[in-house]
Structure 1
Amino acid sequence: MTQGLFSDLLVIDCASFIAGPAAGTVMSDFGARVIKVEPPGLGDSYRNLFRLRGAGPDAIDYFWALDARNKESLALDLKDEAGRAVLHKLIARADVFITNFPFPIRERLGLRAQDVLPMNPRLIYASLTPYGEHGPERDRTAYDTTAWWGRSGLMDMVKATSDTEPALSMPGMGDHPTAMALYGAIVTALYKRQITGQGGEVSTSLMANGLWSNSCQIQAALCGYELTGRGERGARSAMTETYFCACGRQLLLAIANPGREWPLLARALGHPEWLEDELFATPMLRFANSAILTAYLEDAFLSEPWAVWRERLSAAGVTFGIVAQIEDHAGDEQVEANGLLPEFVDGEGLRTVDSPFQLAGEPKQPPRMSPSVGQHTRAILEEVGCSPAEIEALTTGG
């Protein structure tokens, strides 16, 4: 039996892949009971996606370990009337129902909001779509790489230069932020239910979250600004550029207040004479001579490894960061200090990535390994009142 702030909540994860299910994962971190509904046999199509990246037969399904942690698996064939009947019994007692099925599939399965909400007036129906609940593209399928990354303009703008080939997003890059939006919508609806006693429908989309992620640039366009692509290295500000260190690692300067930080940077690099150079005497001159200053900074940073610059720039109060690599996070002192990679209680030392917020006085649940397909089916069927004969008939019928 789970404990925690949401321990009295039952969440049905009737979704696939990442953005919808991950909202349920966050709820499970605070103790909600989350039942993952997936097809018998192969289960959710998100399973085994990791094999497309070359994982071997005995490798851990790292996608599934992340987004299905803490959940129970109920294997149901929702194309079958008997399978839907079991789901309806769960809906009747649930607090939250999460789905991202395309609307035509929801209609065929009787899982639209207007179908589900009458079964339980206190239910929160949480809908995740690629492009929104309305409009000519409401029935289109998509992933975050298309509806969040590509559609938002981020793919076009996040390039080294304006003529650089656009980069594809990484798996889950837009899904997990979108999951946080869906989680926020669910919790807002639960608060409304506390006031009114009534459930209702909430929704968000990958496209809406992509626009929000790129909203500073979109707002500029809405205000009539014509934004140009990024210029070549040396034409950009030297204060917001990446630089190689002697060890081969890269750091990133992010100096938004050069009036204060430019002197700190010059002294930390051991070049106080730059402060007397007429080429760099004012912000406008530093920008006009950015190519020269960039070259100076490149030479300076190449003189020492990252560990030295981390110490010097930190002591000086310069705003900077490392261009991190995936392997950096395990063992990172700052990550460890904030408990961002908790250990599975049943994972033999395996760790996972924590959801990105804390609530004072409400500890999260220690993460449990994700379930196998249908691992909890029989127990859940018994719980909703199915007799041994009914369970046998359901099992025999697939």
Structure 2
Amino acid sequence: MAAVFQGLKVIDSATFVAGPAAAVILADFGADVVKIEPVGVGDPQRVLGRLPNLPKADHNYAWTVAARSKRTLGLDLKTETGRTILGQLVRSADVFITNQSPASRTRLGISYEQLSEINPRLVYAALTGYGETGPEAERPGFDAHAYWARSGLADNVRPDLESSPAAPTLGMGDQPTAVTLYAGIVTALLHRERTGRGSYVTSSLLANGVWSNAASIQAVLCGGEIQYRLPRKATRNALTCFYRCADDRWFMISLVQEERDWPRFCDAIDRSALIEDSRFSALATRRANAAELVALLDDLFASRISSDWQRIFQAADLTAAIVAKAGDLVGDDQMYHAGALVRAEWMPGRGAIVDSPFRISGVTKRPPSPAPELGQHSGEILEELGYSDEEIARLKVSGVVG
């Protein structure tokens, strides 16, 4: 069966995670994605994995996440010839993705107004840090700032009011934002199917951060007040808490239907006497004595390894989980059943890759292929546009194409 987006032509002119990741999802479902890169140095995401505090690996994992299953064209958009070549690509394209600021798009000749004149059926997807208009429209923003810090998420997830905010992992806001951008693109494609016209899709890291923090922000909009977490040993609720196990791994329990689950929880941990203990038997006293219950459970959870507790809680049908490390996931079969990981024999190490996070019955996803080398497909793409070998050679010598 043909992939759902077979024949769909996508130009990925974005960089730094969210925009390129949206294009990866389109490629997974069969789209022909051409990645536009600066001549010579290429996309800066090629060297992102060299930054301090990021995982170290011989394979360029950051570039794989951003560019797998794409073709690449090195193109200098600051030259008239480079913009002419881009215009030729746009003429037959279905989707164009950028994360340049509004003013930069106009300077480079790649604004929606400029490209839609070439192709009125073009779906133009623009991602910014802080939105298309307003005093911060031109402000650059990574997900650590626009999604994580500015949205209030970095403040809300602190373990307690005195703790400093935690920095997000690479792409933690970008990857979900990519799914939003993909959703906008697909919605615009349906709109085009019904109207025959392309459209201008916009999203921002800020809007996606606010969406992720919607419950807290809506509470404040309604006149509410944020309840910051208290330190573990002074927590409001011992049954939505983390506990350290005998193997030095953390175990998280989340008994949100506390009245129903309290007797079952006590039986599962072999502490049935707690069910009628006057300190904990009622919801109000259990909350009032939460610190005392945490101390008791700290001793209990420290007596067994995390996998033992996992089995106990699963058998009792109670919501809990071991706090995983990234290394735990590579040998976890459930990751493949869930579609989180997919086999890729060309990938060094475990022969697997992180997949886009959904499947559709009756629709084939294309097996992922390696991220391209710089300029790997430049000649091939120009040939498809009608350029001769001699013309391609001259373009490369002049530095317009890489």
TM range (shorter): over 0.9
Q: Which residue of 2 aligns with 1:223?
A: 222
Pair 1:353 & 2:354 matched: yes
**8 Å CA contact retained: 1:10, 1:95:** yes
- 1:76-131 deviation line (CA, Å, top 9, x unaligned): 01111111111110000000000001222211111111111111111100000000
Change (3 A) 1:347 1:3: farther
Q: How far apart, CA to CA, are the structure 2 residues paired with 1:347 and 1:273?
A: 53
- 1:121-144 deviation line (CA, Å, top 9, x unaligned): 111000000001111100000100
**8 Å CA contact retained: 1:347, 1:368:** no
- 1:281-338 deviation line (CA, Å, top 9, x unaligned): 2111111100011111111111111121111111111111111101000111211323
Q: Which residue of 2 aligns with 1:104?
A: 103
Give the drift of 1:345: 4.7
**TM-score normalised by structure 2 residue count:** 0.96
Q: How far apart, CA to CA, are the structure 1 residues paired with 2:280 and 2:176?
A: 40
Q: Which residue of 2 aligns with 1:23?
A: 22
Q: Residue 352 of structure 2 aligns to which amino acid in structure 1?
A: R
* Partner SS, residue 96 of structure 2: strand
Give the drift of 1:347: 3.0
Give the drift of 1:55: 8.4
**8 Å CA contact retained: 1:3, 1:365:** no
**8 Å CA contact retained: 2:94, 2:122:** yes
Q: Which residue of 1 aligns with 2:231?
A: 232
Higher mean alpha-carbon deviation, 181-190 vs 317-326, is at 317-326
Give the drift of 1:56: 11
Q: How far apart, CA to CA, are the structure 2 residues paired with 1:55 and 1:245?
A: 27
Q: How far apart, CA to CA, are the structure 1 residues paired with 2:346 and 2:32?
A: 18
Listed as ranges, the gaps of 5+ residues in structure 1 are none
Pair 1:390 & 2:391 matched: yes
**8 Å CA contact retained: 1:150, 1:156:** yes
**8 Å CA contact retained: 1:345, 1:368:** no
Change (3 A) 1:261 1:328: same
Give the drift of 1:29: 0.6
Within a 5 Å distance, the mapping from 1:1-398 to structure 2 comes to 3-53=2-52, 59-233=58-232, 234-347=234-347, 350-398=351-399
Q: How far apart, CA to CA, are the structure 1 residues paired with 2:35 and 2:231?
A: 48
Q: How far apart, CA to CA, are the structure 1 residues paired with 2:66 and 2:132?
A: 24
Q: How far apart, CA to CA, are the structure 1 residues paired with 2:76 and 2:103?
A: 17
* Partner SS, residue 203 of structure 1: strand
- 1:165-209 deviation line (CA, Å, top 9, x unaligned): 111111100001110000000000000111111111111000000
Q: How far apart, CA to CA, are the structure 2 residues paired with 1:224 and 1:297?
A: 36
Change (3 A) 1:3 1:147: same
Q: How far apart, CA to CA, are the structure 2 residues paired with 1:215 and 1:357?
A: 23
**8 Å CA contact retained: 1:125, 1:200:** yes
**8 Å CA contact retained: 1:15, 1:99:** yes
Listed as ranges, the gaps of 5+ residues in structure 2 are none
Q: Residue 365 of structure 2 aligns to which amino acid in structure 1?
A: K
Give the drift of 1:264: 1.2
**8 Å CA contact retained: 2:34, 2:71:** yes
**8 Å CA contact retained: 2:339, 2:358:** no
Higher mean alpha-carbon deviation, 52-61 vs 296-305, is at 52-61
**8 Å CA contact retained: 1:132, 1:138:** yes
CA root-mean-square deviation: 1.6
Give the drift of 1:57: 10
Give the drift of 1:147: 0.3
Give the drift of 1:54: 7.5
Give the drift of 1:387: 2.2
Q: Residue 255 of structure 1 aligns to which amino acid in structure 2?
A: L
**8 Å CA contact retained: 2:45, 2:63:** yes
Q: Residue 74 of structure 1 aligns to which amino acid in structure 2?
A: L
Q: How far apart, CA to CA, are the structure 2 residues paired with 1:28 and 1:198?
A: 22
Q: How far apart, CA to CA, are the structure 2 residues paired with 1:57 and 1:320?
A: 31
**How many percent identity over aligned positions?**
44
**8 Å CA contact retained: 2:236, 2:288:** no
Change (3 A) 1:308 1:150: same
* Partner SS, residue 160 of structure 2: coil
* Partner SS, residue 353 of structure 2: coil
Q: Residue 107 of structure 2 aligns to which amino acid in structure 1?
A: R
**TM-score normalised by structure 1 residue count:** 0.97
Q: How far apart, CA to CA, are the structure 2 residues paired with 1:86 and 1:269?
A: 67
Q: How far apart, CA to CA, are the structure 1 residues paired with 2:29 and 2:153?
A: 32
Q: How far apart, CA to CA, are the structure 2 residues paired with 1:394 and 1:56?
A: 38
Change (3 A) 1:150 1:245: same
**How many matched pairs?**
397
Give the drift of 1:232: 1.9
Instruction: Show structure 1 runs of 4+ deviating over 4 A.
Output: 54-58
- 1:204-227 deviation line (CA, Å, top 9, x unaligned): 000000000000000000000111
Change (3 A) 1:57 1:303: closer
Give the drift of 1:350: 3.0
Q: How far apart, CA to CA, are the structure 1 residues paired with 2:20 and 2:215?
A: 28
Higher mean alpha-carbon deviation, 291-300 vs 370-379, is at 291-300
Q: Residue 371 of structure 2 aligns to which amino acid in structure 1?
A: S
* Partner SS, residue 127 of structure 2: strand
Q: How far apart, CA to CA, are the structure 2 residues paired with 1:318 and 1:347?
A: 37
